[in-house]
Structure 1
């Protein structure tokens, strides 16, 4: 009769984290020094690490729940997984950040903590530039309503990442503060609402209004061209062969 514990010990164990061949398929954001998206990047990274059972390699577990490797096999697996998570970090940050945090014989948690310190320190200073651009955004400076709204949303994410989150009401009010001629009417409707719509609802209203305004201009232009052509050639309407 075969001992079950002996049989289990001979089974090969493959950790799910080792199955990840390309971390960028799971974390599409590249963390950069200038384009501040640390909070978003960190949340995506933590979700991925948790789903692959390696979160404790970057976030210390609660006291008393630490798992200390004892056997040689456990120590080897721990070292392998730490290196794997370390590679994930390096693969999802910019070259400048990589050179900043890279140190020989460091662990994944060391790299994680250095990135946290880089982006979580001096939050107020980091908020100055996106706050200024957000507060002075003008729709006339963009090609269309969609590009304008997208830029405001990106700036709001950047402000959130430096500890200065933008509420939905402030985002919507800023969005309708300086509109083009094509969207002023719907902007007035939004501002006068007792309850402001959510950002994406207001965005859809602006885009639809702009699309309708553009179509009206195109129709008027076509009509004006036909009228001008008739004025220049008034007899052209009498040249039909059946007349």
Structure 2
């Protein structure tokens, strides 16, 4: 039980006592039997059991303020009711703040998050500020982290009940976990098996001769034949001095005929 709340005297507390025990007359102000009457001893024993049950319900902080000897369940109940009513406004403000600021990341799990929201809503009912189902669902969505953005939009659009919204979130949580479990290995595999893109990159392996590209033209200075240029053939070496298949060629001179 929340230490700031002494107990829950009121309509939500009494019904749990009435059907199984039929002891509401010990706390609702009904006059007890006369001391010397025939039924007083039985009433006294029952009242003692109700008193012990109330003591077991109250937290230690407020138990010290209400515990007494030679008292009745009704007297202790009235004390608790006064404490509860005196703290009602302050308690309502605290509960509203906790309810509005609660997030999934502050809880241990999605179930824990939903349980805390529901408990805070029930405590707000006890202080006279009931929480509508629509507000409970709205707060449920507002406290979700970014990875739930898709399901959050869907819940806002459909406006489901509290139970249906919880079911939708449970399914989305399973989907996110499966995606996380299956996504990382695939990403690593893709990163390790993807071949490098060598298109447009210069080759480090020289082909025939020292040329980088075959068919890249017939020389650095244009289409030159014989001794008219620096290049001959299909070499395209960056220095511009490759001839034939990439090796320098000696310039050819025409020989003169010998005189007889």
**TM-score scaled by structure 2?**
0.65
Pairing of 1:90-169 with structure 2 (within 5 A): 90-169=55-134
Are the aligned partners of 2:91 and 2:127 in contact in 1 as well (CA < 8 Å)? yes
Out of 115, 127, 142, which is 1:177 matched to? 142
CA distance in 1 between partners of 2:6 and 2:164 (Å):
26
Q: Residue by residue, what CA displacement relative to the aligned partner does 1:90-120 show, whole Å, maximum 9, x if unpaired?
A: 1222222221101222111001111111112
Q: Residue by residue, what CA displacement relative to the aligned partner does 1:188-212 show, whole Å, maximum 9, x if unpaired?
A: 011122xx21112111111211210
**Residue 138 of structure 1: how far off its partner (Å):** 3.0
Matched, 1:187 2:157: no
**TM-score scaled by structure 1?**
0.69
- Structure 2, unaligned stretches of length 5 or more? 196-260
Are the aligned partners of 2:32 and 2:43 in contact in 1 as well (CA < 8 Å)? no
* Distance of aligned partners of 1:32 and 1:114 in 2 relative to their CA distance in 1, 3 Å threshold: farther
Q: State which drifts further: 78-87 or 141-150.
A: 141-150
Pairing of 1:1-243 with structure 2 (within 5 A): 33-35=3-5, 38=8, 43-44=12-13, 46-61=15-30, 68-69=33-34, 72-193=37-158, 196-228=159-191, 230=193
- Structure 1, unaligned stretches of length 5 or more? 1-30, 233-243
Count of residues in correspondence between the two structures: 195
Question: Using CA pairs below 8 Å that are at least 6 residues apart, which structure has the higher relative contact order?
Answer: 1
Larger Rg: 2
CA distance in 2 between partners of 1:122 and 1:87 (Å):
24
Higher helix proportion, which one?
A: 1
CA distance in 2 between partners of 1:220 and 1:67 (Å):
70
* Distance of aligned partners of 1:188 and 1:133 in 2 relative to their CA distance in 1, 3 Å threshold: same
